[in-house]
């Protein structure tokens, strides 16, 4: 019983953590390709110790990270296609520019990868929403709802000097054409 529990915990601990947004992407876009970053464990203690003892610490750190990157790519070669993979030695990671759900599943099951996430740099701004000309003319007449709340009637009593204005807004999409 104890051995089974230990093995179950070990297998759970060795599987890569996957960011929720990466899993969510493939739930909604299962046939698509997306940029993924796979992060590897790095022996920071060995890196620091070597840098302290090295005559040229910068060169040691650079060589250490590049060597770790080569080892990580070699380990991945047996798991997924690394033809278009880009090593990111400074981050201890590999970038897959066109990863599929199968790539994510293989990386997640591997014991080599520590963490997987979407590439944050792969972000496209949505297109600006455009309405028809007729809709725009109607909106321009009373765009902010000033007349709808009866504001023009109060102008005969006050010019607004000293008024404190509050606005409760339900929010606006960043794709609205007026923004």
**Per-residue pLDDT in tens (0 to 9) along the chain, 179 residues:** 444 444 344 444 445 698 888 888 888 766 778 888 899 998 999 999 999 999 999 999 999 999 999 999 999 898 898 888 989 898 889 998 888 888 888 888 888 889 888 876 665 555 666 666 666 666 566 666 677 777 778 778 887 787 776 666 666 655 656 55
Calpha distance 53→31 (Å, rounded): 50
| The total number of residues written for the chain in this structure | 179
Calpha distance 119→53 (Å, rounded): 35
Residue matched to tokens 């709808």 = 148
* pTM higher than the cut 0.85: no
Largest CA distance in the chain: 84
Domain boundaries, the chain: 9-118
**Is residue 34 a contact partner of residue 118, using CB atoms and an 8 Å limit?**
yes
């Amino acid at each position: 019983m104890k051995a089974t529990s230990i093995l179950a915990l070990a297998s759970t601990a060795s599987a890569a953590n996957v960011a929720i947004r990466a899993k969510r992407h493939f739930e909604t876009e299962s046939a698509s390709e997306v940029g993924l970053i796979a992060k590897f464990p790095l022996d920071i203690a060995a890196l620091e110790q070597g840098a302290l003892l090295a005559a040229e610490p910068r060169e040691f750190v650079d060589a250490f990270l590049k060597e770790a990157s080569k080892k990580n790519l070699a380990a991945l070669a047996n798991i997924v296609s690394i033809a278009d993979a880009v090593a990111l030695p400074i981050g201890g990671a590999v970038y897959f520019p066109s990863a599929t759900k199968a790539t994510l599943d293989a990386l997640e099951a591997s014991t080599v990868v520590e963490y997987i996430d979407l590439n944050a740099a792969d972000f496209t701004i949505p297109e600006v929403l455009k309405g028809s000309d007729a809709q725009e003319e109607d909106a321009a007449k009373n765009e902010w709802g000033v007349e709808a709340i009866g504001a023009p009637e109060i102008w005969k009593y006050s010019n607004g000097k000293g008024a404190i204005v509050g606005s409760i807004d339900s929010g606006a999409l960043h794709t609205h054409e007026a923004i």
